Structure 1
């Protein structure tokens, strides 16, 4: 009742009162009406980019401010044990909220999941979701598409997804600029990985051990690609570099490969038959937090310059020690 009476006052007086409210009270007040939401928004709360987690047991939204943090959880413990039937996003009715480690509930029964998301984006002056981590395949993709549009980065973090799942994820997050693959079973999924590599993301990152063939490398269509770790031989990467020098992968501006090899890394095999210039460089050029005393004594750091077919210069920065190699390539 107090919140409704508050709305009878002029805006400038309401704003003075709101400045004394706790975060919980501000959220409660913002849910009363569009005017209340706009008044809270006008306090110019700012947060770190909003992140969403979609898991088996909940969907959560994380919001971090300068001296506070919030977590909104929906559909808690509503696990779907039948993966053949995909869950649609029904109205969640309420949100479980943790604000600075204290638990609360916010009720808004008529809100769809998208209404909750749009409301929070508005209140905290955010234009879109920074990152969405998808850790389950139990939800109906069309429901996700309608709710979580305009995402910058999508992270896939589950093993079992079908070709239909992959296609659905592309449709649901077709405007995302970055795709992160946190978990992936390569064996038996070669066709799926090639379809992922063919997409024209700004950034594509694999954080799961990935075996890359020459065909895989030639399929990369993103501007920036990262593979951590990757499995291939110097011979495969040598052949890829020769194709790249001649103009393959026209969108690729940079790639980062962290490799664990079957034998000690051999730079000569990587550069065989490629016209190049090698410069031994100091390890401080690399973005590395390790102290010099902690570095392996036989670690090599080199920079290679390669002239491409169109006159642009490609640079390879390589750090290697025994069977490990970090290879970063870029065009300038």
Structure 2
């Protein structure tokens, strides 16, 4: 016998909502303004762990948690958001449809219903146009990490970095997108928590000027093409910049060739101290160098 769900006492209704899977919650939240608010007030724990952006769809990876017989359970599902409808990737079936809804409307609905929703990782690839990035910035107002795959074109990667870095805390770029016309220094100045540059086939060319321009808390470059002369010049200039603010805490460089800093052996540890009290710990091992900046 069918039961009118909305006729249940509020405590029973809230319990029923906690037993629903993500499909049921979405369908229920779309019925009316009241059902949307009921789902919102239930404070169901749903977290998107990954968003993969394509030209015609946006894929969300959701983790839903619930309590079953006093045991905390988790489930991971991937859904594709199109204009007007959503598709469950696992079963390749249409989950919900609402005429007039765009991708922006769907994601705004999710952000509203599952309040506190924060995208943990946003992935970009070559199928995304530059104009698409403006839309992404509007519908995803906050994100922990931006990942740019090796398949992403250089132009799209540069535009994505420039447009999305204000809403991102961490960035990982898995290709060398820099050339003589696009100085790498421009990509080392945003106020990011971390930046990781990786391309085993095409080393990232660096100079002392680039390293002095870094405004990122934790920078990692693999591999870095920089000479002993430039590294030693960077250290010399850093030592002279008393009372000058320098934001990085770590700079990690995997080097193309073994180097020696200030005629030290290949493997060594050294602590430099400036006149203003700031310290720099240098760790060199084989083809890597780590700079740890201490207040």
TM-score (norm 1): 0.71
Question: For residue 281 of structure 2, what is the aligned residue in structure 1?
Answer: 315
The alpha carbon displacement at 1:301 in A equals 6.0
The alpha carbon displacement at 1:97 in A equals 1.6
Tell me which of 185, 209, 223 is aligned to 1:194: 185
The alpha carbon displacement at 1:21 in A equals 2.8
Of 308-317 and 182-191, deviating more is 182-191
CA contact (8 A) 1:318 1:327 kept: yes
Distance 1:31 1:183, change over 3 A: farther
1:224-270 CA-to-partner distances (Å, cap 9, x unmatched) read 21112222123221211222222367222221112231xxx24xx31
- Structure 2 counterparts to residues 12-23 of structure 1, below 5 A: 12-23=11-22
CA contact (8 A) 1:146 1:172 kept: no
The alignment's C-alpha RMSD in Å is: 3.0
2: CA distance between counterparts of 1:329 and 1:251? 11
2:147 is paired with a residue whose SS is strand
Question: For residue 116 of structure 2, what is the aligned residue in structure 1?
Answer: 126
CA contact (8 A) 1:46 1:125 kept: no
1:263-302 CA-to-partner distances (Å, cap 9, x unmatched) read xx24xx31349xxxx9xxxxxxxxxxxxxxxxxxxxx864
Of 225-234 and 165-174, deviating more is 165-174
User: Runs of 5+ in structure 1 lacking a partner?
Assistant: 76-91, 279-299
The alpha carbon displacement at 1:161 in A equals 0.5
CA contact (8 A) 1:72 1:95 kept: yes
- Structure 2 counterparts to residues 186-225 of structure 1, below 5 A: 186-191=178-183, 193-208=184-199, 209-225=203-219
Distance 1:111 1:173, change over 3 A: farther
Of 180-189 and 23-32, deviating more is 180-189
1: CA distance between counterparts of 2:109 and 2:56? 23
CA contact (8 A) 2:165 2:190 kept: no
1:74 aligns with 2:73: no
The alpha carbon displacement at 1:185 in A equals 3.1
User: Runs of 5+ in structure 2 lacking a partner?
Assistant: 65-72
TM-score (norm 2): 0.79
